[in-house]
Structure 1
């Protein structure tokens, strides 16, 4: 079994089309087909079901793919370890993050890190909360910044970076707009703008409202923080939003109001794998952000 065969197999599995895989790999279609055939001959099983010009994985093919993805990640990490062993200050950091952390938190941390280590490169992956956790478990990435931190995950280690307030964002012409603070129950009759179901921030907000005896009436949904702020700015509803997402700029025609009774908060932190060592440059960044946010919190307090 050769690494080339494995990479050809993974590309075909991804695209479910031999010609498209060959084009992506910049090799002849016959070369890809031959290597897949040789791999199946060596393993003694069919990895694909052929359907004209398209293919799809057999059941054993899907299992084999899962193992090969982990194996290739290990090989790629090993190559990167060797490169970074020579100089960890010139490595590449692969890091995942959720939408609500994209505008301020992660860029701020990266900016200050690169002031000390200007030759380090970053590859950033924005994804949903659960996909980021799964990515760290599977080895697609080794660090993710998420909020809130997950509980009861055996294969990941979590470090709290900071705790942030969740505030109300409402249109500036709203009857409550001149208030210095709001009780959550005062929003029970409002139309809400929230993330769709399956987003963890929506779950945090729903749980807080339910604890106060009401379920928010969701009139509009947005898959990213900017669209949610835009809908509120247009007067289409109110929302509850992490304060850090509006730290630089309050959206037009909106006001930010602290929420009391209860005070809504969420923990934000870094997750890393328990069963794998971080690469040298990743370890450098991981230790940096823990210290950076500790110093930042002390300064703010």
Structure 2
């Protein structure tokens, strides 16, 4: 039995005969009759009463049509759903990001994406540690990730988005805002509020000072980027974070020599299926991050 048999049977019932049904289906009447005969033989029951002027379903045909009609409706809905997904009127996307990326990039990304594709549902997972993103991509828990692509695993594809610069971040009223730059020794002598060592940012900062035989003055450690930013806004402490995090209440101060730039990257499982929503999101990611690369 084929789906075609069911559609032909329903057409004959809907049009009350073979002639009009054949015209609507653009097939010959003998071919249509043959298809209905094959359906009846496969079910072992007569589905149509052909004795009157109008063809009507038998009791068996009426029962079969009730169930088959529901199946056809669901199949039509499924086809529409596929088209909706492909034209991005509906769908879903699961995104994993690092805390620093969440702080400055997620907002602009979602503003653009939601404006263009309001029917797409997004699930955003902020990874407590960057190392959580790759396993989640590998296990199919995430569709895309944004992290740092310096040493991705072989099965993870990393596409460079922009280079992230770590800088000194202080409140707008901090005395250092009047300086163009500070030295590593000056920064080490400042009372600092830093992310704890579970964050890659902190490990980079510690390595920077260690390579210069300096020990930073850590007054506050935090395991939350949000909490750390609140500390900087409401105290005289300074921190070291990506410069893109700066806002109306936070200012950046360059220090020399600078920390090595980090490669912010789009992460995907190599060879994984790319939904229409994922492809559209990737395009917007590149558009938005180009603004950072251009310094806008």
TM-score norm. by structure 1 comes to 0.63
Cα distance in 1 for residues equivalent to 2:107 and 2:95 = 12
Aligned residue for 1:87, secondary structure, equals helix
Aligned residue for 2:274, secondary structure, equals coil
The answer on 1:139 being equivalent to 2:135 is no
Are 1:84 and 1:281, in contact at CA under 8 Å, matched by a contact in 2? no
- How many angstroms does 1:102 deviate by? 2.0
Q: How many equivalent residue pairs?
A: 216
Q: Which runs of 5+ in 1 are unaligned?
A: 1-79
Q: Which runs of 5+ in 2 are unaligned?
A: 1-77
The answer on 1:208 being equivalent to 2:208 is yes
Deviation string, structure 1 residues 242-298 (Cα, Å, up to 9, x no partner): 11111x3224xxx4312221254322121010142222311221233124423x256
Give the structure 1 partner of residue 131 of structure 2. Answer: 130
Give the structure 1 partner of residue 224 of structure 2. Answer: 224
**Which structure has the greater CA radius of gyration?**
2
Cα distance in 2 for residues equivalent to 1:259 and 1:231 = 21
Give the structure 2 partner of residue 9 of structure 1. Answer: none
Alignment of 1:29-40 (within 5 A): none
Decide whether aligned partners of structure 1 residues 126 and 194 sit closer, same or farther in structure 2, where only a CA change above 3 A counts: same
Give the structure 2 partner of residue 26 of structure 1. Answer: none
TM-score norm. by structure 2 comes to 0.64
- How many angstroms does 1:197 deviate by? 1.4
**RMSD (CA atoms):** 2.8
Give the structure 1 partner of residue 248 of structure 2. Answer: 249
Q: Which segment is superposed worse, 198-207 or 185-194?
A: 185-194
Deviation string, structure 1 residues 189-247 (Cα, Å, up to 9, x no partner): 2332111112111112222222322232323112222211222334363211111111x
Decide whether aligned partners of structure 1 residues 241 and 94 sit closer, same or farther in structure 2, where only a CA change above 3 A counts: same
Give the structure 1 partner of residue 19 of structure 2. Answer: none
Decide whether aligned partners of structure 1 residues 85 and 233 sit closer, same or farther in structure 2, where only a CA change above 3 A counts: same
Aligned residue for 1:277, secondary structure, equals coil
Are 1:84 and 1:280, in contact at CA under 8 Å, matched by a contact in 2? no
Aligned residue for 1:103, secondary structure, equals helix
Aligned residue for 1:102, secondary structure, equals helix
